A and B are shown apart, each in its own frame.
Chain A
Amino acid sequence: MTNDTEELHDLRLVVNGTPYEISVPARRLLSDALRHDIGLTGTHVGCEHGVCGACTIRMDGKPIRSCLLFAVSAQGAEITTVEGLTRSDGELGPVQQAFKECHGLQCGFCTPGFLTTITAGLEENPRPTREEAVDMIAGNLCRCTGYQNIVDAVLRASEIADEQGGEVSA
């Protein structure tokens, strides 16, 4: 953001545990701030009108569409993006691991939004039935996989988290 005519707002965000201080215009979308001001490009933008879910992140624990929020509205928030789902030892988190095992992704573009959505969903409901797993991902669009393997991945992630002591988030 090099433009001088737009008023900039100083903003502090904690993303994946790391504090960031950025200055952005009031109209800067949170998705753009994460991707281009902070440089965490794992969060993807598929529709910019809140329908596809590719840009889903967790803000203070809740899954939200980062393309529907101005960055300034996230002042002081604790945010988790897909980059923050990997375990502290560098291994894949349970949901990531399950996606790999179940072939739950093809092009990978919608995947970050699924991973954050499912991570939040499994925290709320750690042992979903198949039907509940379907509900959990029913707000995210994927054009490649046909979803069956993603539903499998939700159930598998629940098992992996269980095997690892019940923690679904990093």
Chain B
Amino acid sequence: MTTKLIGEKVQRVEDERLLRGLGQYADDLVPGALEAAVLRSPHAHARIVDIDVSGVLDIEGVHAVYTYDDLTGAMADPLPLLIPHPSLTQGRTQYALAKDEVRYVGEAIAFVVADNRYLAEDAVARIQVRFEHLPAVVGIDAAREASNAVHDDVPDNIAARFEQRVGDPASAIASAPHSLELDLHVERSASMPMEGRATVARWDNDTHRLQVWSSTQTSTGLRAAVAAKLGLDLAQVDVMTPDVGGGFGVKIVHPWPEEVLVPLAARTLGRPVKFTEDRREHFISSAHERGQDHHVQVGFDDDGRVLGLSVRFWHDHGAYTPYGLIVPIITSTQLLGPYKPGSYEVTFDSLYTNTVIVTPYRGAGRPQGVYVMERTMDAIAQRLGKDRTEVRAANFIQPDEFPYDHGMTFQDGRPLIYDSGDYPGLLTKLKDLVGWDDFESYRDNARAEGRRVGVGLACYVEGTGVGPYEGAHIQVETSGRVKVAIGLTSQGQGHQTAFAQIVAEELGVPFEDVELVSGDTRGMPYAVGTFASRAAVMSGSAVALTARMVREKALRIAAEALECSVDDLDINDGVIGVKGAPDSTIALGTVAVLSNPLRYAFDEASQAATQFSVGDPGKPPVAEDDEPGLEGRDFYSPERSTFAAGMHAVIVETDPETAEISILKYAVVHDCGTLINPMIVQGQIHGGVAQGVGGALYERMEYDESGQLVNASFMDFLMPYVTEVPTSIEIDHLETPSPLNPLGIKGAGEAGVIPSSALFASAIEDAEGFPITSMPISPSELFALRSTHEDRR
């Protein structure tokens, strides 16, 4: 019996290196590389009249300065619009360096390369730009009003209008026994990984090859973008993702301007070049997310069952649309959560503003969608005087209704069909975990002590594991060690450990013998990237399928060597043995030797493998339809996404004097299908909850009306420290394995962050007794809301 590893809390193999200070992040690589700095627009909207770079190259140690006029060929074209969509009729992307006009504070205007970053910044400071100021469009209201336009040729600021409809919600709402309307707002936040963006490139003029290291979430995507922009064959470009200090979505855009400018400079100068973003740059030039306004109309019956739901929302996508409509499409579809409204329609406008671009941030549109739906559920419960869990239960898709087809199209262009789930089961577990049924008496006691407490819950379904595919390559070396390559990148999710667990179990080798390299286009040039909780589903499945393929080949070769049937063989701890015959064994490493008939003997293993010592001289050394070596490469490409689900509950206390909001208890129930490593999943939930708390209570991007981001530092943009997160999180799992992939995995990366705004709004509303409709909510905002509601009383 092979040792069971999938589902075990295996300690991470990547940790040793990271704990010793031996991690290799992009800025740690290629010592002596020249360093770049970027001149960024100080204005949110302006025409560039003139750029004067004279004198810049006179600074000793400065090697190059680029403006738009220095760019040629594809580099002079706008950056790619990565995900086109038929509704995105007015898509616009920026240039690598601004041409004629800047549309947000932070847009790249010039790129300087010098001996080091200090000198590069000196040089940037010498560049003189004359601007003609244009009016800035900041915020959704200004964009909708369209008194000014972000792009001259898009006078209404609308890049896309998209609608989907199932049934006839307008008449369902009109004829429903009850109806409600809600306006709900969510602020902008950002991924804010501890490591910013970084790129290093080295051009080898002798071999005409480019090596790029980037903190990207997609090495293959960046490779394609660099090759296209620099006019190189794909085969001339290698992209490696070393250790990456967190991503959460912001590192998925490919390419960022600097990711093509660095390779361009490296090739032109014949010297390695590096760009490492500083924190202020990250705030003003790397993507944000979340900013949306929503208007909800809902009709429901006496049980709270939703008969018709109509949602209209406005998405602030910033100055350009490189990542298409992914975020608002996710909001529009995923707001349905675990529910099945009688009919549903959604329309959104994706709007230009003179602010940083918006691309997915952990959760990607789902936090807003869940906020919309869960606020609606709470409002229905309030109207009917029902328990909030009862209203939700009345709307759940039932366990026997899977696969459940919503009749809509998901973000991947595939039908929105949920694969499996048990939502009533999750709710039961959540109520137990948080003590839902006992809360009223707890509240009464607290009130008697002069304390205000509230409980909230929020339910979500998360489309995970989007395609189109991921692959894996596995090779068994003659030493018996197993080398695995996946193209998917990693930024701290423990891929080296989790995927080695799968290989060890599926192939039957010791965990310690498996070594995994991720995100290196040299090892696996076909891959998509790390986002949308897809790593475990996609690469996990690809790794499992490939391990099975290698296992099959190993057994076939071993059967020949041991002169038995494949069915009689098993692999344990890297040794193939005949079932019931303990002496009849062959090591996997030896099978690797046998698999590769060589002509030359380099060492003992290859000596054993020469065609003069193995095989049947009457047959070709490598059979038809076979390949030398004990290795395999396979891909997993799903029909459609998997759908993980979960529910969170929180008990908060709001200070009657200061309106400070404290977390007393936090509970999570979670269904991500099969767990590969529960310790890693728990870590993902902890981290997600912390980001969720940040999004719900602290984080916002404060733009002034001229488009300046006034809180672009960690002193002013508040992210949770240890003092802001729940002291402990009660976690319970429920596993409804996905029928769509070989291991039944559903993905867990974003779960923790998705329900938070809805959750805290629900709990604070419960504590305070008036509606919470705008998130995040700070103590001062809560204080102000109290005054408003007291005035009205």
Do B19 and A96 have beta carbons less than 8 Å apart? Answer: yes
Contact B725 A147 (CB under 8 A): yes
> Which residues in B have their C-beta under 8 angstroms from that of A148?
686, 725-729
A-contact 0/1 string along B343-356, CB 8 Å cutoff:
00000000000000
B279 on interface, CB distance cutoff 8 Å: yes
* B278 interfacial contact with A, CB 8 Å: yes
B54-78 Cβ-contact flags toward A at 8 Å (1 or 0) = 0000011100000000000000000
Could you tell me if A100 and B492 are in contact, using CB atoms closer than 8 angstroms? no
With A138-B722, A138-B723, A150-B722: A48-B12 Cβ-Cβ less than 8 Å: no
A35 to B35, CA, bound (A): 14
Q: Which residues of B contact A134 (CB under 8 A)?
A: 722-723
Contact assessment for B60 and A54 in the assembled complex, using a CB-CB cutoff below 8 Å: no
Chain B residues lying within 8 Å of A101, measured Cβ to Cβ, are: 11
The answer for the CA separation of A145 and B722 in the assembled complex, in Å, is 10
Residues of chain B within 8 A of A83, CB atoms compared: 20-22
Q: Which residues in window 116-170 of A have CB below 8 A to B? A: 134, 137-151
A49 adjacent to B22 (CB under 8 Å): no
Q: Give complex CA distance A88, B682 in Å.
A: 33
Q: Does A43 contact B (CB under 8 A)?
A: yes
B16 with A3: CB separation less than 8 A: no
Could you tell me the distance between the alpha carbons of A140 and B721 in the complex, rounded to whole angstroms?
7
A65 to B714, CA, bound (A): 14
Docked Cα-Cα span, A100 to B688, in Å, equals 20
CA distance A10 to B365 in the complex (A): 53
Contact yes or no, B725 A110, CB < 8 A: no
| A76 at the B interface (CB under 8 A) | no
Chain A residues contacting B688 (CB-CB under 8 Å) are 146
B419 at the interface (CB under 8 A from A): no
Q: Which of A74-132 contact B (CB under 8 A)?
A: 81-83, 85-86, 92, 96, 99-101, 103, 105-112, 115
Closest chain A residue, CB of each to CB of B11: A100
Contact A92 B195 (CB under 8 A): no
* Residues of chain B contacted by A2 (CB below 8 angstroms): 61, 115
- On whether the beta carbons of B713 and A145 are closer than 8 Å, the reply is no
A47-66 toward B: CB 8 Å interface, digit per residue (1/0)?
11101101000000000000
What is the interface size of chain B, counting residues whose CB is below 8 A from a CB of the partner? Answer: 63
Interchain pairs with CB closer than 8 A, number: 185
- Contact check, A146 vs B60: say whether CB atoms are below 8 A apart: no
A43 to B14, CA, bound (A): 18
Q: Does the CB pair A3–B21 fall under 8 Å?
A: no
Residues of A within 8 A of B493 (CB): 106
Please tell me which stretch of B23-31, B445-453, B562-570 contacts chain A, meaning at least 4 of its Cβ atoms lie within 8 angstroms of it.
B23-31
CB pair A144–B722 under 8 Å, yes or no, is: no
Residues of chain A contacted by B15 (CB below 8 angstroms)? 99-100, 105, 108
In angstroms, Cα B60 to Cα A2, docked, is 9
Q: What's the least CB distance linking A26 to chain B, in Å?
A: 11
Partner of B20, one of A86, A149, A151: A86
CA distance A112 to B279 in the complex (A): 18
Whether the Cβ atoms of A105 and B119 lie closer than 8 Å is: no
Q: Considering only CB atoms and an 8 Å cut-off, how many residues of chain A contact the other chain?
A: 60
Stretch at the interface among B204-212, B239-247, B580-588, B776-784: B239-247
Q: Is B118 an interface residue (CB 8 A)?
A: yes
Please indicate the chain A residues that have their CB under 8 angstroms from the CB of B342 in the complex: none
Q: Is the interface of B mostly helix, strand, loop or mixed?
A: loop
Residues 708-728 of B at the A interface (beta carbon under 8 Å): 713-715, 719-723, 725-728
Q: Which of A35, A44, A96, A141 contacts B721 (CB 8 A)?
A: A141
> Digit string of B726-751 for contact with A (CB within 8 Å is 1, else 0)?
11110000000000000000000000
Q: Does B320 contact A (CB under 8 A)?
A: no
**A45: chain B residues within 8 A (beta carbon):** 27
Taking A46-B195, A146-B688, A147-B722 as contacts, is the C-beta distance between A35 and B21 under 8 angstroms? no
Interface-centre pick from B19, B688, B690, B715 (highest chain A CB count, 10 A) = B19
B166: interface (CB < 8 Å): no
Q: In the bound complex, what is the Cα–Cα distance between A142 and B18 (angstroms)? A: 15
Q: Contact at B20–A3, with CB atoms within 8 Å? A: no
Complex Cα distance, B494 from A107, in Å, reads: 8
Q: How long is the Cα–Cα vector from A35 to B245 in the complex, in angstroms?
A: 16
The reply on A17 being an interface residue by CB < 8 A is no
Nearest-neighbor residue (CB-CB) of B691 within chain A? A143
Residues of A near B23 (CB, < 8 A) are 42, 108-109
A9 contacts chain B at the CB level, 8 A cutoff: no
Determine which of B18, B679, B722 lies in contact with A103 in the assembled complex, contact meaning CB atoms within 8 Å. Answer: B679
Beta-carbon contact of B195 and A109 below 8 Å: yes
B21 touches A81 (CB 8 A): yes
Give chain B residues whose Cβ lies under 8 Å from the Cβ of A107. 193-195, 243-246, 491-492
Residues of A within 8 A of B279 (CB): 46-49
Chain B residues closer than 8 Å to A109, beta-carbon distance: 23, 25, 193-195, 243, 245-246, 492
Q: Is A99 touching B721 in the complex (CB atoms < 8 A)? A: no
B192 at the interface (CB under 8 A from A): yes
A144 and B687 form a contact (CB under 8 A)? yes
Say yes or no: is B606 at the interface (Cβ < 8 Å to chain A).
Answer: no
A141 touches B194 (CB 8 A): yes
Closest A residue to B492 using CB positions: A107
Q: Is the CB of B60 within 8 A of A5?
A: yes
Bitwise, A25-51 to B at CB < 8 A (1) or not (0) is 101100000011001111111111101
Within 8 Å by CB of B16, from A100, A115, A149, lies: A100
Known A-B contacts A106-B494, A107-B193, A138-B722; the reply to A147 vs B690 at CB < 8 A is yes
In the assembled complex, B116 has its CB within 8 A of some CB on chain A: yes
A-chain residues with CB within 8 Å of residue B115 when the two chains form the complex: 1-3
Q: Which of A51, A111, A141 contacts B18 (CB 8 A)?
A: A111
Q: Bound state CA distance, A100 and B16, in angstroms?
A: 8
Given contacts A42-B22, A106-B494, contact A27 B194 (CB under 8 A): no
A107 to B242 CA separation, bound complex (whole angstroms) = 11
Contacts of A141 in B (CB 8 A): 194, 714, 719, 721
- Taking CB atoms, residues of chain A closer than 8 Å to B492 are 105-109, 144
Q: Is B689 an interface residue (CB 8 A)?
A: yes
* B683, chain A: closest CB distance, angstroms: 5
Is B484 an interface position by the 8 A CB rule? no
A residues near B500, Cβ cutoff 8 Å: none
Interface residues of B in 673-717 (CB under 8 A from A): 679-680, 682-683, 685-691, 713-715
Question: Given the complex of chains A and B, what is the CA–CA distance between A39 and B15 in angstroms?
Answer: 21
Within 8 A of A (CB), among B93-139: 115-116, 118-119
Instruction: Please determine whether B245 and A108 come into contact, CB atoms closer than 8 angstroms.
Output: yes
Residues facing A in B165-200 (CB within 8 A) are 192-195
Contacts of A40 in B (CB 8 A): 21
B256 within 8 A of A: no
Name the distance in Å between A19's Cβ and chain B's nearest Cβ: 19
Whether B194 contacts A142 by the Cβ 8 Å rule is: yes
Q: Whose C-beta in chain A lies nearest to the C-beta of B723?
A: A138
Check: B300 CB closer than 8 A to any chain A CB: no
Closest 4 CB pairs of A and B: A42-B21, A107-B492, A109-B245, A146-B686
21 A-B pairs within 8 Å (CB atoms) are namely: A5-B61, A28-B118, A35-B28, A41-B25, A46-B194, A51-B715, A82-B20, A85-B20, A86-B20, A101-B11, A105-B15, A105-B492, A106-B493, A107-B492, A108-B18, A109-B194, A134-B722, A137-B722, A143-B193, A143-B691, A147-B722
Beyond known contacts A107-B492, A138-B721, A146-B689: 17 more, CB 8 A cutoff = A3-B115, A3-B116, A28-B118, A35-B27, A35-B28, A41-B28, A42-B23, A46-B195, A49-B279, A96-B20, A100-B16, A103-B11, A105-B492, A107-B193, A108-B492, A134-B722, A146-B687
